[in-house]
Amino acid sequence: MKREREDFAEFYGRSRDGCLRAVLAAGTPDRALAEDLVAEAFARAWSSWAKVSRHPAPAAWVVRTALNLRISWWRRSRREVALEGRDEIGAADDVLGADHLLLAAVRRLPRRQREVLVLRIWLDLDTRTVAEELGISARTVPVHLSRALTNLHTHLKPSRLES
């Protein structure tokens, strides 16, 4: 049991920031919510550590779990009445260390393109693992990634008028 705790603690320390960045970039603009989702996903990883530790990409498992939790959260929250004056938290940029224009462009991508980009580029997972995590064909991963990169290039291309 002590070895399991040490392994999990090492995994958590090594993976937490990357998982948080991935969840923020995948479309959770509220940093506090993203932190809650990632914390819950890590708690679930710990409770199933025997299984998760054997997963080919445990960090991807955590991110996928957090994204699934976000969907559940969204379904519950859409039934709630929004409070007036609720401030949007836009402090995700400081965690990501990314330009706010890049982050905004990533958030405008279609969901699948965003997920592939985050898992393939930011978490540096191989194509097969991304496909398994998203439940799609390995052949479609490069297609989604190419489309995502093309979209980003289009949105981030400096205006010719600025020259």
34 pLDDT more than 80: yes
Residue 77's pLDDT is 60
Predicted structure pTM score: 0.56
159 pLDDT more than 60: no
Asked whether the beta carbons of 58 and 10 are under 8 A apart, the reply is no
Task: Kindly state the tokens that stand for 160.
Answer: 């010719």
Asked whether the beta carbons of 31 and 91 are under 8 A apart, the reply is yes
- Give the span between the Cα atoms of 98 and 106, in whole angstroms: 11
Asked whether the beta carbons of 34 and 23 are under 8 A apart, the reply is yes
Element (H, E) at 163: none
Least confident stretch, 20-29, 87-96, 112-121, 149-158: 87-96
Asked whether the beta carbons of 67 and 130 are under 8 A apart, the reply is no
Give the ranges where 53-158 is alpha helix by DSSP (H): 58-77, 92-96, 100-108, 111-117, 127-134, 140-156
Kindly report, residue by residue over 100-157, the tens digit of the pLDDT: 777 788 888 999 999 999 888 888 889 998 998 889 999 999 999 999 999 988 888 7
Please report which confidence band the pLDDT of residue 75 belongs to, taking 50, 70 and 90 as the band edges.
low
Highest mean pLDDT among 1-5, 14-18, 155-159: 14-18
Question: Average pLDDT, stretch 39-65?
Answer: 92
145/83: higher pLDDT: 145
* Burial class of residue 115 (count of CB atoms within 10 Å of its CB; 0-12, 13-18, 19+): buried
Task: Kindly state the tokens that stand for 60.
Answer: 């991807």
To the nearest whole percent, how much of the chain has pLDDT over 90? 42
